[in-house]
Amino acid sequence: MKNRTKRADTHSALVQSYVSSLEKQQQLYKRTLIVVVLSQIFGGAGLAAGITVGALIAQNMLGTDSVTGLPTALFTLGSAGAALLVGRLSQHYGRRSGLAAGFLIGGAGAIGVVLSALTNNIYLLFVSLLIYGAGSATNLQARYAGADLATNKQRAKAISVAMVSTTLGAVAGPNLVGVMGGVAESIGIPSLAGPFLLAAAAYILAGLILLAFLRPDPLLIAKAINEQKAASQSNKERQSTRLTLNKRGVFAGAAVMILTQFVMTAIMTMTPIHMGHHGHSLQAVGLVIGFHIGAMFLPSLVTGYLVDKIGRVKMAIGSAVTLLVTGILAASGSGESMAMLVISLILLGLGWNFGLISGTAMIVDATSPSNRAKTQGSVDVGIALSGALGGGLSGVIVAQSSYAALSIFGGLLALLLIPIVIRASIDRKKTSSQLDTSKKTI
């Protein structure tokens, strides 16, 4: 009992030392970013290596193409459920516990996939893919961890650093598919399960890195800082006004990310089909999608700087305009033109990048540490489901009309972001003015 009390007192003193020192807060912010980057490199490898061959394993087990889309659907569904779980765990126990649990669960799912390949058990495969989706959700939510202790002018940069580091692993993962296939065969495991061996190791390593090094927990420190500030604020009207402002900000940030995810997934999903109809090879499809994925993540550092420098609203509007231009180019270009396809998919990735980083920054701005992780988890559920819906509806739209119609529809849908973020910006300025007036009268 005495030891437990002593540990609690030591922890309380440690937390207080960060609460009372801006210098220590910035040191922890920088250290947190380094830990997040390391975990995201492994997390990205786990995500990309596994998802590359999931559909092929299902095809081999059942001997038909009819269910090759099911692994992606299960993966997405698992990702949505895990986003909520990781968000709730992080809210109650801190980023360290929530993110580490998510990666370790994802690693367990990858091991399950390997076992399903060994036993040729399709039911175990489907359950394992559902669990494996936790790694994807955690990969996405880790971008928030670096922003917990960031200042207003550092938040988008912190988010973008996490996204760029994910790219390193995501690029390496697919390139190791052949190598891991050979490793798997050498130990008596089907070659297609090889990438899931890498995914399991990568996710588990990412989880262990977070468990070992994400100390003190940035979200718990941010909560303590926020509680100290709140102790000096007792005016109910000001608190109520802030709550209203936060709800509007969360809605705007969520709308930006959900709509951009829907548009991006819908157009990206049907582009390989569109290219196949115009005689392009699988190598050409891979090249176009490779450029697209690069544009989704590689510009993040520049995007983060711009979001912090010129503002969230302007970059969200930039996302909408970029996606509109994408839709117009994809619809008007010839399906035979590789150059036009590459340009369209690069712009599609760039528009998504603008939307995700500006929307994420809006969410962080509009939440406090007391409700941030829970809110972020709920929003990421919406993002995952939006992507699944976009991918599912895209085929229906193209079947009933054309790829051009899908592209135009996506571009026009993205324009809805403009009135949403402008309205949120006007409300924010109005509420800030009310807060200033309230402060002067107290």
In a shared domain, residues 143 and 263? no
At residue 404, does pLDDT exceed 70? yes
The reply to whether 252 falls in a domain is yes
Task: Count up the domains in the chain and report the number.
Answer: 2
Q: Using one digit for the tens of pLDDT, what is the confidence trace for 343-400?
A: 999 999 999 999 999 999 999 888 888 888 889 899 999 998 898 888 778 888 888 8
Q: Whole-angstrom Cα distance, residue 241 to residue 410?
A: 35
Considering the chain, what is the average pLDDT of its residues?
Answer: 85
Alpha helices, DSSP H only, in 94-235? 95-119, 122-145, 155-175, 177-186, 194-213, 218-231
Contact at 8 Å (CB) between 47 and 139?
yes
In a shared domain, residues 217 and 242? no
> What was the pLDDT predicted at 382?
92
The reply to whether 423 falls in a domain is yes
In a shared domain, residues 221 and 243? no
**CA angle at 112 for the pair 109 and 115, rounded to the nearest 5°:** 160
In a shared domain, residues 143 and 182? yes
Q: Whole-angstrom Cα distance, residue 124 to residue 117?
A: 9
> Which CATH number fits the domain that encloses residue 184?
1.20.1250.20
Q: Whole-angstrom Cα distance, residue 176 to residue 285?
A: 19
Buried b (16+ CB within 10 A) or exposed e, 294-318: bbbbbbbeebbebbbeebbbbbbbb
pLDDT band at 203 (very low <50, low <70, confident <90, very high): very high
The reply to whether 18 falls in a domain is no
The reply to whether 232 falls in a domain is no
pLDDT band at 161 (very low <50, low <70, confident <90, very high): confident
Task: Supply 423's token pair.
Answer: 């309205």
At residue 238, does pLDDT exceed 80? no
Buried b (16+ CB within 10 A) or exposed e, 233-260: eeeeeeeebbeebbebbbbbbbbbbbbb
Q: Of 24-33, 226-235, 238-247, 330-339, where does the model show the most confidence? A: 24-33
Give the DSSP H/E element, type plus range, for residue 297: helix 282-297
At residue 235, does pLDDT exceed 60? no
In a shared domain, residues 359 and 211? no
At residue 202, does pLDDT exceed 90? yes
Task: Supply 59's token pair.
Answer: 């095809």
Q: Whole-angstrom Cα distance, residue 391 to residue 266?
A: 5
Q: Using one digit for the tens of pLDDT, what is the confidence trace for 264-316?
A: 988 987 888 788 788 888 678 767 877 887 888 889 989 999 999 999 999 99
> What was the pLDDT predicted at 358?
95
In a shared domain, residues 287 and 362? yes
The reply to whether 15 falls in a domain is no
Percentage of the residues of the chain whose pLDDT score is greater than 90 = 43
Q: Alpha carbon 291 to chain centroid distance? A: 19
> What was the pLDDT predicted at 49?
67
The reply to whether 154 falls in a domain is yes
In a shared domain, residues 146 and 200? yes
> What was the pLDDT predicted at 335?
80
Measured from the Cβ of residue 273, the count of other Cβ atoms closer than 10 Å reads: 13
Q: Using one digit for the tens of pLDDT, what is the confidence trace for 95-137?
A: 999 999 999 999 999 999 999 999 999 899 989 989 999 998 9
The reply to whether 19 falls in a domain is no
> What was the pLDDT predicted at 442?
47
- Phi (first) and psi of residue 299, to 5 degrees: -75, 5
pLDDT band at 232 (very low <50, low <70, confident <90, very high): low
In a shared domain, residues 273 and 199? no
At residue 441, does pLDDT exceed 60? no
> What was the pLDDT predicted at 127?
94
In a shared domain, residues 281 and 198? no
Q: Using one digit for the tens of pLDDT, what is the confidence trace for 35-65?
A: 999 999 998 888 766 666 776 787 788 776 5
Percentage of the residues of the chain whose pLDDT score is greater than 70 = 86
> What was the pLDDT predicted at 135?
92
In a shared domain, residues 40 and 166? yes
**DSSP per-residue string spanning 298-366:** TTHHHHHHHHHHH-HHHHHHHHHHHHHHHHHHHHHS-TT-HHHHHHHHHHHHHHHHHHHHHHHHHHHHH
> What was the pLDDT predicted at 86?
94
> What was the pLDDT predicted at 214?
94
> Which residues span the domain enclosing 174?
24-225
Task: Supply 29's token pair.
Answer: 């912010």
In a shared domain, residues 408 and 262? yes
Contact at 8 Å (CB) between 30 and 157?
no
Last-in-domain residue among 173, 197, 225? 225
Last-in-domain residue among 225, 259, 283? 225
Last-in-domain residue among 169, 201, 225? 225
In a shared domain, residues 247 and 346? yes
The reply to whether 230 falls in a domain is no
